[in-house]
Structure 1
Amino acid sequence: MWVSLARIWAVMLKELKQLSRDRMTFGMIVMIPLIQLMLFGYAINTDARHIPAGVVDLASNQTSRSILQAVEATQAVRFNHNYLSPQAASGAIVRGEVKAVLILPEDLDRRLLLHPNSAAQSTSTTLARPIGQWLVDGSDTLIAATVRSLRTMPLNDVSGHPPQTLPPTFEVVQWFNPEQRSVVNIVPGLLGVILTMTMILFTSAAIVREREHGNMEFLINTPIRSFELMLGKIIPYVFAGLIQVSIILAVGHILFHVPIRGGLMSLFGASLLFIFASLTLGLVISTIAKTQLQAMQLTVFILLPSILLSGFMFPYQAMPVPAQWIAEGLPATHFIRMARAIVLRDATLSSVEFDAFWLLGFILVGLLAASLRFRKKL
């Protein structure tokens, strides 16, 4: 028994020494729980606040300004865009510029006068006419529920009477997902999560595998350039990514009845950009990692923030500003925005051009970084 314990002790010491020399693995042991704690404890917030919203103020008087101030005081929305017409506001929702728009009509004062809370209509049985209308992007159920909570508000700030129980003050019109089905929002987001996981995993070990299998000697003796090798590594996986996109969209549409309102060409164009971006990120990881185990660890290191900060599980607007800065550096954040806009809001690539150009720039920078880091040497 003592001899067996001595052998176990020897192997244990050997593993500890090897772990102490493997800085990448040791760093992941420390960083993964730390990052998970920070993400779940600090960045993840299911209470949506400061939702970007627009306003169409057709009344443009002191009453309307008082209403806007009362709504903003709830901290649920932040009015950062003004539109001249409901049509312009509708286009902003389709582009994803805002998540909701408050429309205040020209006869706002008259509607307030006819409201049961006013002196002219003191009986609680009077049927109140809505004093305004909310247009809401209903594709995100949490944001839609937050805006719906604003439809009944105390009017003492604008009418001069104490607040009381009122019927809904604002009419709420939900677009793109009136049934409030969560799957409608999840399936387009799954495009980004699944492609992130598979595409980065496929290529993160590409260069490392050549070293471990002894193929680096053959590559050294060929006239291939670094940039050519990088492109040759990722192009075969592009077709695999497009197959995954087709499967997710088909199954989501057939089994879960997720509508595909946008053009398929726009959606596949956005998917192609994201696939190239994810494969490029995998190549950069491959030039950093020394073993395939390290490549998989770095893949997990990228995958966790991509799931938690991209807006797939939690609203982007509910995260604190530092977490939003981190999210903006992740390709998944930009693609999930594009996919939901195209699938649910009938947007085109030109409507989401900022995210499209961001992914294109990421591809070029990533390919350049991977090519510069790769050296044809043992």
Structure 2
Amino acid sequence: MYTPETISRKRKMAVASLFFTNGIVFGTWAVNIPVIAHAFHLSHWQLSVVLLTMGVAAVSIMSLTGYLVHIFGSRRISILSCLLFPIALCLAFAARNHLVLLVSVSLLGAANGSMDVSMNDQGRLLGARGSGSVMSLLHAFSSIGSLAGAALSFWCIGQKYPPATLAYALLGFTLVSSWRLFPHLAVDADTSDRRKNRPTKGELCNGRLLMFGILSFLTMMTDGIIADWSTLYLESLSVSHSTAILGYSAFAIFMIAGRILGGRVAAVIGDRAMIAIGGSLMSASMAIALFSPNLAAKLLGFGLLGLAMANLVPIIFCNAGQMENVSGSIGTAFVSVCGYSGFVAGPPLVGATAEALGLDRALLLVAAVGVTLICAAGLFRGRKCPPAHRDFS
């Protein structure tokens, strides 16, 4: 028989496993995009269409997921989408023609979008039930998963295993972890009243919530750009694919470190300063990655970019989920939809711009986002959150 402490710890690990699974599946997809592009002989523009198809599917399902989470809670949706995500990855890597590829990436986007909304609502519930501010640490698990996906892909390339082999292994891992941990996911205390009440127009038109949505869009747009184009950018400099993966790996490593320490730092300097510092470092690090003359400096630039972005999304999600006069699930779902819209809109935008101006100039969009965040920092309160590192103690 489990004690309350054991149940609480298992619940934390269950939610963390959602974020880790999401990260490792998406990380595996992201670093193998060049493999897909080469296999199907896709130009930058054609690849942008594939990525846009994935994004449209994700954004389309996210709005529906937000409503279903508000009505029924996020537990069941989290489990279903977490199982569907690696299945879709297997289908994408096993595709043999363009039609099957487009259908597969549509399913991949839909699963990722649904999982993004539901797992973040699970994180919100975890914090609301006495676990403090866990969002930064949960997103750290997602970053750890992304790094693991990149590392495993690097190993598979060395062993000459096709990406589909890793995808099948991830599906098996997900099935085992879901059996062990997902029964402990948080259940909403009472969803009966929610089924009678739809989200109000006032909730969705709240000016502060709209601000969080815009910032979430821009920040996750940058995340999507780096995930999909950092490897391709380094390959364009005549770097091998296995070496080019190191750019995204450095990004993920520094982001993990930033998110593990971010809760403690935010508790000292506050959200406003964190946003300003993150935006400043984002612009500077992107300039280093693009204009440095040697590979080591470029990798450092990508690493510092991960550090700059580490706590921006968790801070935005934390604020949106704790607003007055707005349901926590609605606030979380809204910034999730906005954020993922940016996540999937950014890569096609860069691809289209790269066709006209070159990939290095297209990536300057990341530096522009950093400047925007600096300007928006004054809109944040100087509120300080409890250190996130205590949440999993």
TM-score (norm 1): 0.35
More relative contact order in 1 or in 2 (CA 8 Å, sep 6+)?
2
Q: Which has the larger radius of gyration?
A: 1
| Higher strand content, 1 or 2 | 1
| Higher helix content, 1 or 2 | 2
TM-score (norm 2): 0.33
